[in-house]
Structure 1
Amino acid sequence: MFKLFATCPRGLEALLAEDLAAAGASDIRIVASGVACKGGWETIYRTNLNSRIATRLMMQLSFGKYQKEEDIYKQARRIDWPRHFDVARTIRVYVTAIKSPLKSLEFITLRIKDAVCDVFRDHCDERPSVDTREPDVRIHAFLTAEDCTLYLDTTGAPLYQRGYRQKTVDAPLKENLAAGILRLAGWQPGTVLLDPMCGSGTFLLEAAQQVYNIAPGARRSFAFEKLKGFDAQQWQRMKSAAQQAERKPSGAPTLFGRDASPSAYRAALANLDRAGLLPAVDLAQGDILEAAPPATPGLMVCNPPYGERLEELDDLLLFYPKLGAALKQKYAGWTCYFLTADPAMQKGIGLKPSKKTPLFNGALECRLFEIKMVAGFNRRKKPGEGDGAAEEASEK
C-alpha cells in the first residue's frame, strides 16, 4: 500500500473522494485542492484510467521537517530512487510551496535533482538525465512553513488532458472542471443537455464520453508505465475491459451545443469529430438570445463570458439582462447552471439562484449558479415588493 495524494480543481474535492473510493482507495481524507488516501497499484491504475475529476495522482515517498535547503537535500538523498525507476529514465523536479521561509524554489529544485543523481551514482555509477519538456519521471516536492513532502507522479501530463481537444478558444474550461460541473448538476447520460455558449465544446466532449461510456484515460499514456513495479499485463487487462465496455449511442442526440461565434462552432466541431464523438451531439451555430430551445426541457450548462473574454464591462452589463429575459421567455422547465467569476452576473441576469457553489477555474474564483426556470416564478420584484430576499442565495 502506498500513501497517495490526488489533486483537483478547488471545490471538487468531495467528488474526487468519490472517484478514489470507487478505485479502491482507503483512509480517504479531503484537504484543500486534493484528497489524501492509501492504495496499491490497482488503485493507481483505476484512478488514472477512470477519474474524471482528478488532475494528477502522486505517490508519497518521504515526509520530513526542514529549516534550510540542505535539510531537503538530505531528505531526498535518503530515498532509494533506483527502487522506483531505472537510471535510463529522464527526470524533472517540480517544487511548490506555501509559506516556505526559503528564498529560492529554483535552488531547492536543483538540490533535489542533485540528491536523486547522487543516489544513482552511488548505486550504479550513472545518473539520470534531465528533460524539462517530456520527462519519463516527474518528482514533486511540496513545502509548507516547516514540512517537505516528496512525491513520484503516477500521472504525467495532467489528467484533464484527455487526448482529444486540439482546437481551443479564449478562456477554455479544463475538462475535469467541466466534468465536475456536470456531476454537481446531476446530469446523467440520456438526459437532455444544452450548452448554448459551447466554445470549443468541453462540456459536450465530457458528456459525450459518458454517453459512449469511454473512460477518460483510455486514449492516453501515463507516468506509472515508466516506474518499477508497473504490471503491464494487469494494466492491459484493465484497459481492455474498459474498451470493451464502451458503447455506441442510438437514436437522436440528447446533447446540444450552440455558439454565436463561427470560430467557436468550428473549434467544437473539429474537437468532437477528432474524438469520434460528433454523432452524439447536435451542434449548430446559434445565439442564445435569439434561438429557440433545441429540445424539451432538460439541463443547461454554460461558461458564459465574465470579463476574461469580453474586455468591455459595458458589453456584459448589457448582455446579462438580455440573457435573463431569453431564459424567462424560452426556457421554462429547464434547470440552468452558469459558471461565472463576475459578481455582477447575478444581479444583472435578474434571476434567483437556488444554489451558489464556490469553484475555481484555475486561480480564478468562480460561482456555479443553479437557476430553476419555473414558469412565472423567476421574475424581478417591483420596487417595494417584498424585502429583496429574492436577490440572495445561500453559499453551498
Structure 2
Amino acid sequence: MEEFEIFAAAPPGLEPMLLPEFRALGYKDARYGPGGVTMVGTWADVWRLNLELRGASRVLARIGTFRASHLNVLAQRAAEFDWNAVLPRGVAVRVEVTCARSKIYHEGAAKERIGKAMAGAGLRMESEAELRLLVRIERNVVTLSLDTSGALLHKRGHKEAVGKAPIRETMAALFLRAMGFDGTQRVMDPMCGSGTFLIEAAEIACGAQAGRSRDFAFQHFVGFDAEAFAEMRRSLGPVTGPPLAFGSDRDAGAIRSASANAARAGVEELCAFSHHAVSDASPPDGPPGIVIVNPPYGGRVGQKKQLFALYGALGKTLTARFGGWKVGIITSEPSLAKATGLKLMQGPKVPHGGLNIWLFQSQL
C-alpha cells in the first residue's frame, strides 16, 4: 500500500473548518464532504495528520475496497484480502459493519464472514478490542477502513480536569477557526470552565502539535516505523511571552482546573485566568480580539428559564466593555442567544452530546 484514501472525520456542519488545516500542512488536493475531509496519502501522512490536526475527531485509513452482492462473495473476497499487510498476526480487532442500499443487508451476517476471513489471517475479532475495523457496504461496494487514531483525537493526553459540560478540544479548535482565529489575536472566555478554548488558542499560537502527548492505534500496525515517527513528533519546549488567552469564571474550582490544565499542556505562560462573575469581566489592555464562550444552556446545565438573566448579563457586559471585539457564543438554544441583545449571525447546526448547537457571531 504505497498510497490510499485517508479520511479525517469532523462534526457535521464543521467540515469546511477542517479543510484549511490540510491546506496549512501542504495537502492541496484534500477535499471536504459530509462528515469530514478526504485525501490520498501514505502511512507517513496518517501519522502526521494524527499528530497535527486539531479539528479532526479521528483519522481513518481506507485499506481496501471490493464489490460483493452476496454473503458468499463477501466471504470469498474477505478471505482473499491481505490482512497481514497491515495488521500483525495475533492482534485483536473490533469489527463494526454498516449496510446501506445493498443486497447484503444483514450486518451481523456480514460481520461473521469478515471475522472468519480475519481468523484465517491469525487475527482475533473481539467486541472490546482497542484496534477497530470499519466495514461499510453501500450499493454493493465493500469499503474496509482502519481507525488509525484509537482514542478520539480530542483526548490530547494532557488534560485531566474537566468542567460539568465540557466542549471537546477538537470542536473548540474548529469554532476558533470559524471565528477567524489564526494564532495572532487575543482570545477571551468569560465563562472558561476548564479552559478548553483558551488552551487550544494558546497551543495554536505557539505551533504545538495537537497529538504530541498521546499514543495512537497506528503504532500497532505492520510497518510502523517508531524511529521515523519519533522524528516527526515534536516536543513543545519552553513557551514564553505575554498572555494572549484570557479566561474567567465564577467557579474558583474551574479556575484552578483551567490553570492546571494549561500547565500540563505547557502553555501556562500564554494563559491568564481570574476568578469573578461574567458581569465583572473586562478586556485586557491592548487591541480588540475574540471573545468566545460556551455558556450553560437548558438541555445541558440548569434550566433554560433560569438562564435568560445570565445571557442578558453577558450581552450587557460585552456591549458596555468590549467595543471592537468579535464575539462567538455557542448554545443549543437560539432564544438564549437572542437574550444577549446582540446582533448575531447564526452558524450551521452542529450535533453535540445529543443536542444540536450553533455558533452565533457578532462584531461589537
TM-score between the two structures when normalised by the length of structure 1: 0.82
CA separation of 1:362 and 1:258: change in aligned 2, threshold 3 A: same
Please tell me whether residue 306 in structure 1 is matched to residue 301 in structure 2. Answer: no
Aligned residue pair count: 361
Write the mapping of 1:1-396 to structure 2, written as runs, cut at 5 A: 1-25=3-27, 27-67=29-69, 71-96=73-98, 105-106=107-108, 108-118=110-120, 120=121, 127-130=122-125, 132-133=127-128, 135=130, 137-144=131-138, 146-239=140-233, 242-243=234-235, 248-250=239-241, 252-296=242-286, 297-354=288-345, 356-373=347-364
Counterpart amino acid of residue 365 in structure 1: N
Residues 109-132 of structure 1 show CA distances to partners (whole Å, capped at 9, x for unaligned) of 4442232112x1xxxxxx334555
Counterpart amino acid of residue 276 in structure 1: G
Counterpart amino acid of residue 237 in structure 1: E
Counterpart amino acid of residue 200 in structure 1: S
CA separation of 1:196 and 1:4: change in aligned 2, threshold 3 A: same
CA separation of 1:259 and 1:156: change in aligned 2, threshold 3 A: same
How many angstroms does 1:82 deviate by? Answer: 1.2
Q: Equivalents in 2 of 1:271, 1:98: separation in Å? A: 43
Q: Which protein is bigger by CA-based radius of gyration?
A: 1
Q: CA RMSD in A?
A: 2.6
CA separation of 1:309 and 1:364: change in aligned 2, threshold 3 A: closer
Residues 268-290 of structure 1 show CA distances to partners (whole Å, capped at 9, x for unaligned) of 23322322322221112221123
How many angstroms does 1:174 deviate by? Answer: 1.0
Q: Secondary structure at the match of 2:30?
A: strand
Counterpart amino acid of residue 32 in structure 2: I
CA separation of 1:18 and 1:325: change in aligned 2, threshold 3 A: closer
**What runs of 5+ residues in structure 1 fail to find an aligned partner?**
121-126, 374-396
CA separation of 1:148 and 1:362: change in aligned 2, threshold 3 A: farther
Q: Equivalents in 2 of 1:289, 1:72: separation in Å? A: 62
How many angstroms does 1:313 deviate by? Answer: 1.8
Whether the 8 Å contact between 2:99 and 2:105 is mirrored in structure 1 is no
Q: Which stretch has the larger CA shift, 360-369 or 164-173?
A: 360-369
Whether the 8 Å contact between 1:212 and 1:249 is mirrored in structure 2 is no
Counterpart amino acid of residue 151 in structure 1: S
How many angstroms does 1:167 deviate by? Answer: 1.5
Whether the 8 Å contact between 2:344 and 2:361 is mirrored in structure 1 is yes
How many angstroms does 1:88 deviate by? Answer: 2.8
Q: Equivalents in 1 of 2:246, 2:212: separation in Å? A: 24
Q: Equivalents in 1 of 2:359, 2:222: separation in Å? A: 42
CA separation of 1:353 and 1:75: change in aligned 2, threshold 3 A: farther
Q: Secondary structure at the match of 1:289?
A: helix
Q: Which stretch has the larger CA shift, 164-173 or 9-18?
A: 9-18
Whether the 8 Å contact between 1:289 and 1:323 is mirrored in structure 2 is yes
How many angstroms does 1:78 deviate by? Answer: 2.9
Residues 12-61 of structure 1 show CA distances to partners (whole Å, capped at 9, x for unaligned) of 32232333344454643322111222111232122111111111111112
Whether the 8 Å contact between 1:19 and 1:47 is mirrored in structure 2 is no
Q: Secondary structure at the match of 1:365?
A: strand
Whether the 8 Å contact between 2:165 and 2:301 is mirrored in structure 1 is no
Whether the 8 Å contact between 1:212 and 1:246 is mirrored in structure 2 is no
Q: Secondary structure at the match of 2:311?
A: helix
CA separation of 1:295 and 1:226: change in aligned 2, threshold 3 A: same
Q: Which stretch has the larger CA shift, 223-232 or 352-361?
A: 352-361
Q: Equivalents in 2 of 1:267, 1:99: separation in Å? A: 48
Q: Equivalents in 2 of 1:131, 1:275: separation in Å? A: 34
Whether the 8 Å contact between 1:339 and 1:366 is mirrored in structure 2 is yes
Identity score, percent: 32
Whether the 8 Å contact between 2:187 and 2:292 is mirrored in structure 1 is yes
CA separation of 1:311 and 1:107: change in aligned 2, threshold 3 A: farther
How many angstroms does 1:162 deviate by? Answer: 0.7
Q: Equivalents in 2 of 1:300, 1:162: separation in Å? A: 23
Q: Equivalents in 2 of 1:76, 1:26: separation in Å? A: 33
Residues 57-115 of structure 1 show CA distances to partners (whole Å, capped at 9, x for unaligned) of 11112334555655544443331101112113232223345677877645544442232
Q: Secondary structure at the match of 2:280?
A: coil
Q: Equivalents in 2 of 1:342, 1:256: separation in Å? A: 25
Q: Equivalents in 2 of 1:309, 1:154: separation in Å? A: 31
Q: Equivalents in 1 of 2:128, 2:211: separation in Å? A: 21
Q: Equivalents in 2 of 1:129, 1:327: separation in Å? A: 57
TM-score between the two structures when normalised by the length of structure 2: 0.88
Q: Equivalents in 2 of 1:275, 1:97: separation in Å? A: 41
Whether the 8 Å contact between 1:177 and 1:361 is mirrored in structure 2 is no
